[in-house]
Amino acid sequence: MGWLNKLLGVRPKGEFEIIYSKSGTWNISYGREGKTYNEYCHFDILYNDAIKKYKLEHRGHKPESHSLYPELFKYMRMLNEGLAYHKGG
């Protein structure tokens, strides 16, 4: 099947690799006693060298409502537009 892809000019899509990762914390109160516990959300900026694109993945407790989300989304967008760069290491 690889020869057919080569003949048709189909390039592999490549894989996304994590280049930046950050976590956010939520302090959640419950009960009348004011007990609290922590919930976390995680953000990863990934890069695909084959298609030269970045993407933002998130998971955990309400990641789109956390204050880190707009900051990291803006940074990912700037990377894709060529307005910023990420120094690997």
Q: Give the Cα separation of 23 and 43 in Å (integer).
A: 6
- Contact, 46 vs 19, CB < 8 A? yes
What is the gyration radius of the CA atoms in the chain, in angstroms? Answer: 19
Position 89 pLDDT exceeds 60: no
pTM assigned to the model: 0.74
* pLDDT tens profile 66-81: 999 999 999 999 999 9
Q: Check residue 4 and give its pLDDT.
A: 65
pLDDT for 38 equals: 87
Beta bridge partners of 45: 20, 56
Q: Which of 52, 57, 58, 59 is nearest to 79 (CA)?
A: 52
For position 30, what pLDDT does the model report?
82
Distance CA 86, CA 89 (A): 10
Domain boundaries, the chain: 14-81
